[in-house]
Chains A and B, each alone.
Chain A
Amino acid sequence: MVLNGIRMGAGRWETASRKMESTMAQSLRENLPLVADPRNLDHSVEEVFNMMLGASCELIPATPIDDPETITAVVGFGGLLSGACVFRSGGATALNIAAKLTGMEFDELDDTVKDAIGEICNMLAGAWKGKVPDLSANCGLSIPAVITGRNYEIHVQAPEFRLHHTYRFDDSVFDVTIICDGLQ
């Protein structure tokens, strides 16, 4: 997966925030512990799942996805911070999330399920960056991209930092990764 493509997708935010970047970049890098605080990710997941699905999520140790089909949604960050928010789950978890989100039943990873997972990732990305005021104002989001398939991996070269947490609600397991591959 090429994160640069996503960064360019969110690039329209870069021009608008360029002036702000020069004055705030110093403080953002100085505030790296705040930006990379893993609790922000946990709070974002809880906020999105609680408000939109009425579900409470539990942070669990990293668990391999035990499902023949995997779905991944990616929302890119552009601006002061570049990188991506990546949501990943097995097919059964995606069906469960889409059902809770829409009130409909699904038996395959159709376009509506992919749309639902993309929106979940979009809200997670927005909630996460909203935890840090400088990021909230100076970091844009790309349109979600959703990938389905089997036995694929996402590789990012030398990220600045990476948060990777696995969560469970009901019997559904998913993971969320924040990848920062550039901090200006």
Chain B
Amino acid sequence: MSEMRVLIVDDSSVMRKIVERALRQAGLDSLVVVEAGTGAEGLEVLKTQQVQLILSDINMPMMDGLEFLRQIRAQKLATGVPVVMITTESSEEHVKQAILSGAQGYIRKPFTAEQVKERVLPLLAAA
């Protein structure tokens, strides 16, 4: 697989590293990870870099993950790039909100590398 650039947005640097590790364990060896600690930083990244996948936390200070998603769509950034939300929130209502905001996938924390693989690889294959 050729180089794949992934944006991981999470206010926790530890969680960003854990998600990166899970992606590598999923077999995405040619991964180039771009990290953002806030939704605003994530938007700035998307204005200057092309990515093939976006993974974002929901519960973040200042701009939460759902608003980040809405801003991506409103500013027409990363068109066609799959977005996967990774969050502790797992109710049907939260999943519905994420999908309505433009997410293609949803991973509930805690998660295993296998679960990340199951959610992410089909999206990348379809993109």
Contact = CB atoms under 8 A, between A and B. Distances in A.
B12 interface: yes
Interface in B2-24: 11-15, 17-18, 21
Nearest to B61: A143
A127 B88 contact: yes
Contacts of A123: 88, 109-110
Contacts of B30: none
B92 A137 contact: yes
A126 B14 contact: no
Contacts, number: 60
Interface stretch (A32-40, A88-96, A114-122, A156-164): A114-122
A126 B21 contact: no
B59 interface: yes
Size category of the B interface is 20 to 34
A141 B89 contact: yes
Contact of A116 (B14, B88, B112): B14
A4 interface: no
Contact of B14 (A51, A112, A130, A143): A112
A122 B88 contact: yes
B117 to A, nearest CB: 14
Contacts of A125: 88
Nearest to A142: B59
A183 interface: no
Interface string B76-101: 00000000000111111110000000
A80 B52 CA distance: 39
Contacts of A141: 59, 88-89
B13 to A, nearest CB: 6
A103 interface: yes
Contact of B91 (A48, A52, A98, A137): A137
B19 to A, nearest CB: 11
A1 B18 CA distance: 30
A126 B89 CA distance: 6
B14 A122 contact: no
Nearest to A114: B14
A119 B11 CA distance: 10
A143 B11 contact: yes
B17 A102 contact: yes
Given A122-B88, A125-B88, A141-B89, A112 B13 contact: yes
A136 interface: yes
Contacts of A127: 88, 110
Contacts of B90: 126, 130, 136
Given A51-B110, A51-B112, A52-B110, A126 B18 contact: no
Contacts of B14: 98, 101-102, 112, 115-116, 119
B110 A143 contact: no
